Amino acid sequence: MPAAAQTWAIVDPKRVPTERYFSTELAMLEKDRLWTRTWQFACRLDEIPRPGDFTEYEIADQSILIVRVDDSTVKAYFNACRHRATALGEGAGTFYGGQIVCPYHGWRWNLEGKSTYVYARQGFTPACLDPELLRLRECRVGILFGLVFVNMNPDATPLEIEFAEIAETLAPIGFDRMSVRWWRSIKLPANWKMAQEAFLEAYHVMQAHPSLSMGAADDDYDLDAMSAGFETFAGGHSHALPAPGMDSPVKGMSFNDYFLQFNNALYVGTDAYTTAREMFVQQGLIERDIAEGELPLAFFGALYEYAQGAGIPLPPPATNTAGFAHVFPNLTFLPAYGNSIAYRVRPDANDPESCIFEVWALQIPGTEEEGEAERPTCERLDDIDQWPQIFAEDFRNIVRQQKGVRTHGLDDLIMSEKYEAMIVNSHATVDEYLSGNR
Amino acid sequence: MTARVRVEPAGVEFGVNPGDTVFRAAAEAGFTWPTVCFGGARCTACALTVLSGHNRINPPGRDEQIVLAQLAARRRRTTLRDVRLACRMTVSGDVVVEKKGVKPVEVDNG
């Protein structure tokens, strides 16, 4: 059935039907046609560092075990005993002794998914013990930037091809050198797409984040100074292009001042985009008399000098992207200075108006910070007020949007093809999957 | 620093990295160790007796304490001296333990 025949389908890219954010029918279609066919970030490699380590990836109503088999192999199995469906692992842990063991009747598999033991096998007919029947069912696995991606579709385009353009854009950022500073999640009463879209545009900064617009009202905050637009790729991936020049977006404020205050606000407001490391570097510059417009260059000079001394393998600054980038369908990055915020959003089981939103604060560590790293774990923080200010400001607007899309008389949302191009591209790609064209 | 664990009566030895359990280290060193739940602190099949090096053994956590208490109760005792779960016990130095049935992996069960 063509997507266009549906009331939720995008007909005009500038108008997004509100139904897309609460329709149960659409959520069911996404479950059947989107989540089953797209490459999704399932876990970081450092969550499963050693053979036997596993973590559970849940998406819609599916549970998949991501298992470290050996130094170079990761497998993904649908999380069900072949006997009577018992989930074989929950959360994260280790399959010790290289055996995946069903806690119900003791059936076992090795880390390669092959059946190794059936208790009292004389009670089953030979056909029921066929090794191929007993083998754990697998998903495809792809690894990029130290991240494990899975795809339930055995015929999916390989990850390297599907992500080719966005991976090339993001490669200079150095994600594979980063480790987790913190990782938190929140359940938001909103459709997963609604939650995600708060992080696919910077148009909201002027009003939603006064700390970032430095109090500049209305057109005194020049959005066009922030980015030269967006590059959108087939497959729904996209990223923001670098700013055209070095002009302060805040009218009447020098670029030096703006740069310093922007970093300060993001330190206080996210504890992720900028960290104590950059604040330390920046503090050393404040006392120096730096010519107007020269501060960013001085900052990067000081940052790389500091990094060299601390053994922090910072890659050269990326020149091709302003930072925020979207890896379709549900992963978004906001990198800077060898750090990055990463966002992943998933529908909350079958509820189209609830989602699980995760945030990672990532950073390239120095050599002195290395050692036996613990497996990162996610802290659930459902109280919006407990989050750093800028995240809280975004979350509150997401909740309000979800309230608004239900109101009578609002049939669709209005999109700017200039400022909200990443959102437009993402919706168009969702429809390609739902209509079977991908 | 890697500690050594010696297992009687087989007389086999293997190294245990800090933070790793005896059960995990045995499996990684190529030994089978009796178990049903494979490291879940549930089945008690992996329970061992400490023979020497008591002061180089880290104390049991809550989940192990509960299972050890159940194990003792089955034997109508309040505690079992020197008994620990291999799937939870970590060590800070060399120890000698007793566990029947520990042996090199014979066949590739994969």
pLDDT value, residue B23: 96
Contact residues for B72 (Cβ-Cβ < 8 A; gap 6+): B78, B79, B80, B83
pLDDT tens readout for residues A421-436: 999 999 999 999 999 8
Interface residue A103 vs chain B (CB under 8 A) = yes
pLDDT of residue A165: 96
CATH 3.40.50.150 for domain B3-101: no
Are the C-beta atoms of A438 and A37 separated by less than 8 Å? yes
The Cα diameter of chain B in Å comes to 41
Residue A353: alpha-carbon gap to chain centroid = 19
Residue B8 has pLDDT above 80, yes or no: yes
- Give the tens place of pLDDT for each residue, B40-99: 899 999 999 999 999 999 999 999 999 999 999 888 877 788 999 999 999 999 999 999
Contact A96 B87 (CB under 8 A): yes
- With an 8 Å Cβ cutoff, are A110 and B109 in contact? yes
Q: Which of A96, A110, A121 has the most B C-beta neighbours within 10 Å, making it the best mutation to test the interface with B?
A: A96
Three-state secondary structure call for residue A73: strand
How distant is the Cα of B24 from the closest Cα of chain A, in angstroms?
A: 6
Question: Hey, of B31, B38, B85, which one would you mutate to test binding to chain A, going by the most A CBs within 10 A of its CB?
Answer: B38
A49 at the B interface (CB within 8 A)?
no
Q: Strands (DSSP E) along A2-157, which ranges? A: 15-17, 40-44, 53-59, 62-70, 73-78, 92-94, 99-101, 108-110, 115-117, 138-144, 147-151
In this structure, are strands A325-327 and A331-336 parallel, antiparallel, or unpaired?
antiparallel
Task: Quote the DSSP letter at residue A388.
Answer: -
The residue ranges of chain A whose pLDDT is under 70 are 1-5, 368-372
Give A226: exposed, middle or buried? Use CB within 10 Å, 0-12, 13-18, 19+: buried
- pLDDT classification of B108: cutoffs 50, 70, 90: low
Query: Least CB-CB distance to B27: which of A98, A106, A114?
Result: A98
- The structure's pTM equals 0.92
Q: Are A382 and A325 in contact (CB under 8 A)?
A: no
For A174, A257, A277, A303, A339, the CA distances from A316, given in Å and listed in that order, are: 9, 24, 17, 11, 13
Written as six digits, the tokens of A320 are: 């091709």
Q: What is the pLDDT of residue A2?
A: 53
**Which sign does the torsion angle of CA A299, A305, A309, A310 carry?**
positive
What's the pLDDT score for residue A438?
Answer: 87
Chain B nearest C-alpha distance from A96 (Å): 6
**What gap in Å lies between CA A314 and CA A303, rounded to an integer?**
9
Q: DSSP states of A170-235 as a string?
A: HGGG-GGG-EEEEEEEEEESS-HHHHHHTTS-STTHHHH-HHHHTT--GGGB-GGGT-S-EEE-TT
Q: How far is A132 from chain B (nearest CA, A)?
A: 13
pLDDT at A372 (0 to 100): 63
* CB neighbour burial string for A345-379, b if at least 16 within 10 angstroms, e if fewer: bbbbeeebbbbbbbbbbbbbbbeeeeeeeebbebe
Residue spans of the domains in chain B: they are 3-101
pLDDT at residue B110, as a whole number: 46
Rounded to a whole number of angstroms, the distance from the CA of A155 to the nearest CA of chain B is 27
A96/B27 CB distance under 8 A: yes
Residue in chain B closest to A99 (alpha carbons) equals B38
Residue with tokens 């050599």: A367
Q: What is the pLDDT of residue A416?
A: 97
Complex confidence, ipTM: 0.79
